[in-house]
Structure 1
């Protein structure tokens, strides 16, 4: 049975952000929630804990051990136990690293278009942003990074999204190795968000940055919450490179780690649901094929550079001549998409669409969007 086969009626019984933000006549294809049932082994693990009242504080290294096993099986690389510790979740981990290793007024490099909370966590805590946009080809601008690191306003940190959200770019080992070398050369803290690590198309190789010899100065923020659709269970891991002491500089609140129930849920996902997430990505790849066909047939003016990472698609609507594409599609097509401007002010003509859903809903959404223009 297809994992992405839940009907709209079934999905509207949910009370999460995706299905309750907008009225019932709006198709929500915005926030990164997947329209799937939770893996049964995760359901069983949480239910068993609840049944015996196992709802106390977290203990032990089960989550870290499960991540290490997965990394070895998937990527042929295994972090040492001392490299890992629990975090609140990915963005709390990033915040803790910035608070512990930078001071207000320091600059942090990001690569627009990029996940909106990156902008928020930097600016909201008094740091300044240095932008090194992705190239026209959708790759990291290594020359631009070198220039930013060597410039007059030298950054203290570089916040990298790998795979990249919203474009879906999967960075190569060569690109990541060069990034790490630049950070070492210019003494820039390299923080890498790998929450989408398992969300790549079938046959595509994701490279964990800490598997690279030149990248032992980096620190990674990871969570099983995205890959297995468990954001309701907030939790994650810090994984530090062997030469990184950045996790030793964390402020006290960073010790507020993954909750016990999240540890149980995430660990069960990592141990028992690897085939499940691989099947999800088979179906997401099919939905990417579908989106490609539907755009060509119904909205040929919309440009999309297909990439193999994530279940998100980054659509350039510039040729449609709309003042605000996301607002237009919400008001006139009753389809909720992410506004590109939240990923960078210069991307207001873009929208992000979530493809981890029933293909019938994608078909319906594209029909509405085409009719609206």
Structure 2
């Protein structure tokens, strides 16, 4: 842990040294060797300028998508930008008018609410449905919101914070709903590389011809490969109309991409990094199950469903009686920093989000500290 505390990013600088930081979505693992090699070479030769007008990133991502998802997007229909949030905002600005309503599906990544507002639109909340064993899109509720005039759906696929991998059937139905109402779907697929093998992850643009006509995807290696600070994402389209929208964005949307981010993303999406990613997924599989075992043994009142994707655990602590925002007490008394559940929407009352992209020792100590409060 001492080596981790040498890092200067948000995760290891926000709180004092006695706090275990399991809140923000950064991981504690070494970089993939190919990324380290590429960045070290860039520093050595001073390759620190602006990104070029033509880069190998679209082809690199297309190859990655083919290998990992069985999907072959067209590199000619992709455009880089600084991060997924910027891509979302810039697309929403072009496909909605001020005051239009954009559907989000809480509990959901807290910045979604601000991104919709930044684009000049208004949030329309249609919560996920709790099936008793997992979560799913409330297609009937989304249909009602579209009937009432919503113009876009901001999708999180896989979903943050629940780790849900939406089924291809539900995504296809979502596309049909959007098309029948003249609406669009903007799919945040930043966690897609972290879908566990066998979950059946489907990129939105791969699900149907209708999805390709109404959809935009924004993708990045930043979560899987821990590259958020390097600033690089891709806006991906699959039809003439949607491609025209993205090509019409100002050049500065592209030029804000970080040169190191682009170099690192190309390395991340290369075949050379596949073994590292496979190892990461195996580690996260062990960690998500370790967390389940620890909660069962030490905090049996907690309710936790093992996520399909990612390294974020959505944990319901309501039955412990620690209030709507139990993270506050946990931080104050247990010295463990978790993400505040209510930040994800009203559905997050009594919940916390825990980042298990770290060592088993840190996960174990965190749960032991929290369990000591009960």
1:253 & 1:335 partners in 2: Cα distance? Answer: 40
- Root-mean-square deviation (CA), in Å? 1.4
- Provide structure 2 residue ranges, at least 5 long, that are not aligned to the other structure: none
More displaced 10-residue stretch of structure 1: 257-266 or 297-306: 257-266
Aligned counterpart, 1:104:
98
Contact 1:225–1:235, Cα closer than 8 Å, also in 2: yes
**1:126–1:210 Cα change, 3 Å:** closer
Paired residues for 1:1-373 under 5 Å: 8-59=1-52, 60-137=54-131, 138-151=135-148, 154-213=149-208, 214-216=210-212, 217-243=214-240, 244=242, 245-251=244-250, 253-271=252-270, 272-323=272-323, 324-373=325-374
> How many angstroms does 1:203 deviate by?
2.7
> How many angstroms does 1:354 deviate by?
0.3
1:76 & 1:298 partners in 2: Cα distance? Answer: 41
2:361 & 2:103 partners in 1: Cα distance? Answer: 39
TM-score, structure 1 length as denominator? 0.94
Contact 2:108–2:160, Cα closer than 8 Å, also in 1: yes
1:220 & 1:15 partners in 2: Cα distance? Answer: 31
1:239 & 1:22 partners in 2: Cα distance? Answer: 37
1:343 & 1:278 partners in 2: Cα distance? Answer: 29
> How many angstroms does 1:202 deviate by?
3.0
TM-score, structure 2 length as denominator? 0.94
> How many angstroms does 1:277 deviate by?
1.5
Contact 1:195–1:222, Cα closer than 8 Å, also in 2: yes
Please state whether the residue corresponding to 2:154 is helix, strand or coil. Answer: strand
Contact 2:32–2:276, Cα closer than 8 Å, also in 1: yes
1:140 & 1:278 partners in 2: Cα distance? Answer: 28
More displaced 10-residue stretch of structure 1: 211-220 or 331-340: 211-220
Aligned residues: 364
> How many angstroms does 1:252 deviate by?
5.7
> How many angstroms does 1:103 deviate by?
2.2
